[in-house]
Structure 1
Amino acid sequence: MQGTHSCLGYVRRGLAVWRPRCVLPTRALRSASTQSKSHDSYDGWPERCDVLVVGGGAVGSSTAYHLKQRAGRDLNVVVVERDSTYKRASTALSLGNIRQQFSVPENVHLSMYSVRFLQRAAELLAVEGYDPPDLQFTPRGYLFLALQAGVDQMMENYKMQTELGADVQCLWPKQLQKKFPWMRVGDVAAAVLGVNNEGWFDPWSLLTALRRKALSLGATYVSGTVTGLHNYEQPTTDNLHHPPASTLTTATVRLESGETREMRFSSLVVAAGAWSGALGNLAGLGGGPGALATAIPVEPRKRYVYCVHVPDGPWHDCPIFNDYTGVYFRPEFNSNQLYMCGMSPAEEDEPPTEDLEVDHQFFETHIWPVLAQRVPAFENLKVCSAYAGYYDYNTFDQNLIIGFHPVYKNMCLATGLSGHGIQQSVAVGRAVTECILDGKCHFINLERFGFQRILTNQPLKEKMVM
């Protein structure tokens, strides 16, 4: 892998010119920051709002959009975002992949709804005076592989997915080899491929479109960090199943200037992504009595993405590939020789999250050997660049936590998607809107994703899919 070592030297010295599509150039970041400030009137500080959304990424902006789209200007919605440039935001650093292949039916429903929305985004998120948003959706499908030991679970997943309307296809080894002759399939017992409604899109374009539409409908965006959450009364019961209700009323917000302001609200939406657990701590979650002793089990986890050049390409029909080892790759936008790849580390190998530095050795020891074994053309790859981003990792079961908290009845959670955030953000925003306005989500039944499962220790884990 001589070429890889050579190119990594350039990456470490910061000379690589390639940047991931979803990371904004400086001019765009400056524009985003300016747009944010133009709507943040601190002289007319919003001392009170109906709904305070903490987190202005894809989930938070989708929530603001859906709330304003449905309730109109009579509902006062304020979004607080700590990173006005979005340079370190999970949304902006996401690959933008979307699939319907899950083992938990609720996740299938969420992604199916989201992809239908993405396909209509130019219409649904249009704003007068701007070009219709182009999310550059690329429908290539996901390909999952299984060894013999995993075939039964894969077929169970496949049956459920097709029953729910997902357009997926089962491939046996000979079919797989014929369809993808550039791949080694000797150890593969079965595979499932998404035929329609799976692929990738530009996450920055989605975020920009959601935010712009929410602003056009009257939502307010504030650049700052929530540093405190306060309530009228503190429960004292130890009853986990029927704790007394309490109401959060006020947020303390530290602005980018360092100034601190307070804002009162009627409802609070926790859409702070990787920092949702820390936000919950501000309300006493994880340090109080009864149900308050349980924190929101969401924390940042760092994930690396590597861009590699493969001169022996192209593969015009290449899907998003998911090996049973956890290694993945997919083509870069409109490129026949650039591929994005990575894998999640084992629990015991989780890297520190204090910064977004990339471990290049991780690629050489964990990813490249699998790529080269599976696809011979990867033997001659060269790493062009790499970056890292954060997952809002749900340490309990790596699935969405949504709905009202059992104690703080006006705190609606929308977090813990653990890598599914960008693809399910649109559906989650609608679900939160229904919780706020109707008391529960009804377009999809998401009761099993509520916080109660954490209190009763009933994890809802995916099987055989990441």
Structure 2
Amino acid sequence: MSVLYRLLGRTVCNRRHQCVQCVRCVHSDGDKLDHQPPAGIYRSPLRILKEEYDAVTSGKALPEESKVPREVDVLVVGGGIMGSSVAFWLKQRHPKGISVAVVERDFSFTRASSMLSVGGIRHQFTLPENIRLSMFTADFLRNIREHLSVLDEDPPDVQFNHQGYLFLAKEDRAERLAELVALQKELGAKTELLTTAKLQKKFPWLNLDGIEVGSYGLEGEGWFDPWLMVKALKQKNLSLGVRYIEGELTSFEFRDETYVSGGSTHVRKELDNAVIKCSDGQTYQSRFAVVVNCAGAWAAEVARKAMIGTGSAELSIPLPVEPRKRYVYVVHCSDGPGLDMPLVIDPTGCYSRREGLGGHYLCGRSPLPEEEPPIDDLDVDYDFFTNKVWPHLAHRIPKFENLKVKSAWAGYYDYNFLDQNLIVGIHPYHRNFIFANGLSGHGLQHSIGVGRAVMELIVDSKFRTIDLSRFSFDRVILDEPLFEECIV
């Protein structure tokens, strides 16, 4: 029995029955073909050795390892930055004691939120938990070779650019920005409040019309390559024994558990198996002790498969996460800001940052509620740039009046429409279902810390390093939003 099953007080199935459905089938011509038993069917070590011995003595190949493990301690749904982070920390804590499998429906990550982001990391948030999560990720990136190096492979390099973030504020937000800088500095962040005089001296290419102050990250802020980060995490995880499965979770299977309460006997549905359709078109079962929802923008779909949002009582409350489409534009300006350019956030919500050394920049803006685009595809609306982004950029950085759009892409936020904040923790009904969802655009920079927090919740039954209790699903049930002011 594994470490995790003992921790949860659960035992794997010990049924020893055999039937034509679960062990082997007989074709009409009498030939017997081995089939993988469904999840949870017990095969003794002696039987496994006998099957292997029979295969060798008869000149047949040894049975291939199944694409999907029949039983696993932790099943992670979603193999992007969040899912890979959860898997990494679990194997760091118990390299041999916990088995981990990650299900990802698209290994090319064509719709993964983190892969299609601008790769930013900042300490400038308004909630202490978010500040601490970002600071932890910055420290992780500084020591990434220690964390993610793999024997006989090149050391990981995610191309961390330390140019910082610059938030600009008008007079009505100046006092609040000063309070936030004080909070960030109290927690250890290297953030500085700059007056217009200091801003003009440090960034002479800025037009400071209407700007009262700015907050600037001096250390640990900037941007990095999300593709290289996920690649490094996955490579490390594979070396630690994590199973990556290219397939889609199609459904959960439940088992009935009886319990006595108030003198009456009740039956409750317990999550037991995952049904996974792999890229080869075949369907497999995998029994798990814990399942972690890291499905990003599609997390609510995974939750509904567990009856979350479709059941009664605690199961009647849905996960408030949905995909929201966002555009990123690549522009060129030959005489634009140079190497000293941070990621600039205008009061209008428009952002821009340098990309490489050839006069290219990334820019964009989150649409207003009435401007939300449809999510049917990832087509880019270039009129949105012309009408809603470029005028504000050119006003704030006059050199951008002469920019040229070179390309663009669209990606999805895993948007928490309750309060645009993380939802993490155990569901109150399904005690083996864990959320790690709804980061609304700051998942890339917080996933390393959230992954560690999920590991602590599974192994230690509580958060040990960064207390994320306020981000639990309870606030969704109670309709008590916890807003983060700095959503870009």
- Shorter-chain TM-score above 0.5: yes
Q: How do residues 254-265 of structure 1 correspond to structure 2 at under 5 angstroms?
A: 254-265=277-288
- Establish whether residue 253 from structure 1 lines up as the match of residue 253 from structure 2: no
Distance 1:291 1:235, change over 3 A: farther
State the distance in 1 between where 2:476 and 2:350 align.
29
The structure having more radius of gyration, on CA atoms, is 2
- Establish whether residue 390 from structure 1 lines up as the match of residue 424 from structure 2: no
Tell me which residue corresponds to 1:179. 202
The 3-state SS of whatever aligns with 2:146 is helix
Which sections of structure 1, spanning at least 5 residues, go unmatched?
A: 1-40, 237-242
Distance 1:298 1:42, change over 3 A: farther
Q: Deviations over 1:324-370 (max 9, x none)?
A: 111000000x3251000001111121111111100000000000000
State the distance in 1 between where 2:290 and 2:397 align.
51
Tell me which residue corresponds to 2:333. 310
- Alignment partner for residue 101 of structure 2, among 78, 81, 88? 78
1:94, distance to aligned residue in structure 2 (A):
1.8
The 3-state SS of whatever aligns with 1:299 is strand
1:442, distance to aligned residue in structure 2 (A):
1.2
Number of aligned pairs? 419
The 3-state SS of whatever aligns with 2:96 is helix
- Alignment partner for residue 406 of structure 1, among 413, 428, 431? 428
Tell me which residue corresponds to 1:367. 389
Distance 1:244 1:212, change over 3 A: farther
- Establish whether residue 422 from structure 1 lines up as the match of residue 444 from structure 2: yes
Q: Is the 8 A contact 1:111 1:423 kept in 2?
A: yes
Q: Is the 8 A contact 2:257 2:267 kept in 1?
A: no
The 3-state SS of whatever aligns with 1:265 is strand
The 3-state SS of whatever aligns with 1:247 is strand
State the distance in 2 between where 1:51 and 1:145 align.
43
- Establish whether residue 335 from structure 1 lines up as the match of residue 339 from structure 2: no
Q: Deviations over 1:176-206 (max 9, x none)?
A: 1111111110200111000100001111111
Q: Is the 8 A contact 1:287 1:293 kept in 2?
A: yes
State the distance in 1 between where 2:405 and 2:65 align.
45
Q: Which amino acid aligns with 1:67?
A: L
Q: How do residues 185-334 of structure 1 correspond to structure 2 at under 5 angstroms?
A: 185-233=208-256, 247-332=270-355, 334=356
Q: Is the 8 A contact 1:167 1:196 kept in 2?
A: yes
Q: Which amino acid aligns with 2:372?
A: E
Distance 1:315 1:44, change over 3 A: closer
Q: Which amino acid aligns with 2:199?
A: L
Cα RMSD between the aligned structures? 1.7
Tell me which residue corresponds to 1:169. 192
1:387, distance to aligned residue in structure 2 (A):
0.5
The 3-state SS of whatever aligns with 1:169 is strand
- Alignment partner for residue 435 of structure 1, among 457, 460, 480? 457
Moved more, 174-183 or 41-50: 41-50
State the distance in 2 between where 1:465 and 1:306 align.
19
The 3-state SS of whatever aligns with 2:481 is coil
State the distance in 2 between where 1:336 and 1:85 align.
28
Q: Which amino acid aligns with 1:391?
A: Y
1:247, distance to aligned residue in structure 2 (A):
3.2
State the distance in 2 between where 1:327 and 1:155 align.
21
State the distance in 2 between where 1:157 and 1:173 align.
18
Tell me which residue corresponds to 2:129. 106
Q: Is the 8 A contact 1:245 1:409 kept in 2?
A: no
State the distance in 2 between where 1:235 and 1:161 align.
49
State the distance in 2 between where 1:337 and 1:172 align.
28
1:42, distance to aligned residue in structure 2 (A):
6.2
Determine which structure has greater relative contact order: mean sequence separation of CA pairs < 8 Å that are 6+ residues apart, divided by chain length.
1
Q: Deviations over 1:207-252 (max 9, x none)?
A: 011111111001100000101013224999xxxxxx9986311111
State the distance in 1 between where 2:269 and 2:368 align.
39
Q: Is the 8 A contact 1:245 1:408 kept in 2?
A: no
State the distance in 1 between where 2:302 and 2:101 align.
17
Q: Which amino acid aligns with 2:126?
A: S
TM-score of the pair, normalised by structure 2: 0.83
1:313, distance to aligned residue in structure 2 (A):
2.2
The 3-state SS of whatever aligns with 2:94 is helix
Tell me which residue corresponds to 2:171. 148
